[in-house]
Amino acid sequence: MEDRIRNSGGRDWQYVAVAAAIVVAGFLLRINQIGQDELWFDEAFSFHMVTLASWPGDLLKYDNPPLYYLLLHAWIQLVGQSESAIRMLSAIFSTLFVVTILWIGRIILGHRAALWSGTVSALAPIQIYYAQEARAYALLTLLLALTYGSLWRALETNRRFWWRAAFICALLALYTHYFAALGLIPTALLVWLWPERAQSKQRSLRYILSVSVSGFLFLPWFLWSFWFTPHALSGSNDWIRDIWERTPPLLAIPKSLEVFTLGSQFGFTSVINVKRFGALLLPEWLHLTGLGVLALLGIWIAIPWGDKELAIPWLGRRKAWLWTLLFFPLVALWLISFYKPFYAVGRYEIVAFPAYSLLLGLALAKVQSIRKVGSLLVPFVALAFFVPIGAKLLLYYSVPPRPFAQATASALHQLVHNGDVVVLTRTRAKTTIYYLTRLGYQWEEGRCYHKSTGRTFSCWRHPPEKPRKTAASTSSRALERSEVVREEVQQYIRALHPQEGVLWVVFGRAFFSKGQLKVAPPDSFLVDELERSGLNPVPIEPGYGIFQFR
């Protein structure tokens, strides 16, 4: 029976053709308009991590595992530094994720569930978002899915090749992101649930050996990152805390499932609102239709009634493992966040998405297998589920670009002269420097140099970005120390040309109110110190946050 499930459709040209069509459609959706949006803060961070002269050393100082950055560095050397080129690596990883879900679905749940799961993963707005973001999350979900499939084949065949593949994929996932561990821990349940007890001892030993080898090979990086170079986890960032505080705790996990299905939209508390999703608003009836069908499919796959029609051996155990793969990371992040916020809807819980797509594929296959009416019913269910997703994607691709950072860099190129000083506040620094680089500037700490024109001016990030060496030395706390800001301001003034130099500051959010410059709280310390030094703000390009201080 197991062989029949795994091989059903293996030589069926129709199955292969449909699977290929799903992959091609997923790839086209991922590359469509991939370079239209500007790089945002996190993507610019990725760019700077792998292009600055100090980049190899920076990998050892910051709280990010290095695999994605190493791959991105090599990729940029091959394809260039444009937005589409930088993001294309994620699009490839995301497309391979669709291929992997088709493979896992076929060997675990049969060819029907595989095709439905592949369709879910190909069309999911959150997958397309991360396929068009120069961050590690597309690679992370790919490696987790490959780990699950390799482990299944290892338990099924007990061949060394698959055991080695499983531990290599798990190791690479850990070297991609620390939260890969949340997706790897539930793999132990599959070993415990495996039905062939006669050989379970040998399989368990091989599993323990694979886990031990993966952990041993990851240990040097872990010790270096958290023992020899202690610092706060990235999850302590203020923006994560803000999202967690604005998310009702009881709705956090449901909101994640909603983002998995329909993506985010205007007014929705989610990390992926930073680009296009923050400008989208799906009609309420479509929104409710998509969520209603999701709830019904969840109930349908949870209950045992009708499972026998799928003819999948020990299906209950398979579903238990998939449910655990889905909810263990969500619940773990949720519980941890009451102590230290890590739960940002639409971000780290992406590790649960492989199980989400497999469970939904199984639910649709189960609808299709209902006697007499299944083949008639499933098109209506699929339409009710995928039409809201399709509508969200149409809205997603219809949003016009907003060249904010690019326009800022162009304005600075026109305004700033030799001997001037430009100060870029932390929310604007990385993106503005990226687009200055695209205009031909070479940036080093404290200096911008234009290769063709010879223009040179001081260019500082505020606050200076330094690796966090202790949990207490975050940028926000350092910024609040007025003596630190005062020293930085004096450094800016000393760098000005004595007769002709002009000080320019680029803020994230800034406007005049009653004759006073209003900025975001972290930047207010900088404004206070500048004014205390006798420099007053003059709006030059307020729409882009550019102010001159005289």
Domain ranges of the chain: 2-398, 404-549
**pLDDT confidence of residue 392:** 97
Task: Calculate what percentage of the chain has a pLDDT beyond 70.
Answer: 93
pLDDT at 235: 40
- By the 8 A CB rule, do 180 and 353 touch? no
Task: Answer whether 109's CB lies under 8 Å from 361's CB.
Answer: yes
Q: Is the pLDDT of residue 499 over 70?
A: yes
User: Rounded CA gap, 418 and 483, in Å?
Assistant: 29
Decide if pLDDT at 470 tops 60: no
Buried b (16+ CB within 10 A) or exposed e, 18-53: bbeebbeebbebbbeebbbbbbbbbbbbbbbbbbee
List the single range of 98-102, 118-122, 343-347, 424-428 with lowest mean pLDDT: 424-428
pLDDT confidence band for 542 (50 / 70 / 90)? confident
User: pLDDT tens, 33-46?
Assistant: 999 999 999 999 99
User: Would you place residue 444 in the very low, low, confident or very high pLDDT band (cuts 50, 70, 90)?
Assistant: confident
**Per residue in 285-342, pLDDT tens?**
999 999 999 999 999 999 999 899 999 999 999 999 999 999 999 999 999 999 999 9
445 vs 537: which has the higher pLDDT: 537
The confidence score (pLDDT) of residue 465 equals 65
Q: By C-alpha distance, which of 500, 501, 488 is closest to 533?
A: 488
pTM: 0.92
Predicted pLDDT at 195: 86
Q: What is the mean pLDDT of the chain?
A: 89
% pLDDT > 90, the chain: 68
What confidence category does residue 132 fall into, taking pLDDT thresholds of 50, 70 and 90? Answer: very high
Report whether pLDDT(260) > 70. Answer: yes
pLDDT tens column, 473-486: 444 444 445 778 88
Distances (CA, A) of 86 to 47, 53, 79, 440: 8, 18, 8, 17
Per-residue pLDDT band for 199 (boundaries 50, 70, 90) equals low
Q: Does residue 448 register a pLDDT over 60?
A: yes
Beta carbons within 8 Å of 105's beta carbon, 6+ residues apart = 111, 113, 114, 115, 116, 117, 118, 358, 361
Task: Verify cis geometry, omega within 30 degrees of 0, for the bond prior to 66.
Answer: no
Q: How many CB atoms sit inside 10 A of residue 508's CB?
A: 16
User: Residue 246 pLDDT > 80, yes or no?
Assistant: yes
More confident residue, 513 or 517: 517
Q: Let me know how long the chain is.
A: 550
Instruction: Indicate whether 471 pLDDT > 80.
Output: no
Q: Once rounded to an integer, what is the mean pLDDT over residues 394-413?
A: 93
Token readout for 96 is 């391979």
Q: Which of 356-360, 418-422, 428-432 has the highest mean pLDDT?
A: 356-360
DSSP state at residue 224? I
Give yes or no for residue 4 having a pLDDT over 50. Answer: no
Kindly tell me if the per-residue pLDDT of 20 is higher than 90: yes
Q: Output the pLDDT for position 523.
A: 87
pLDDT top residue among 389 and 54: 389
Per DSSP, the three-state class of 513 is strand
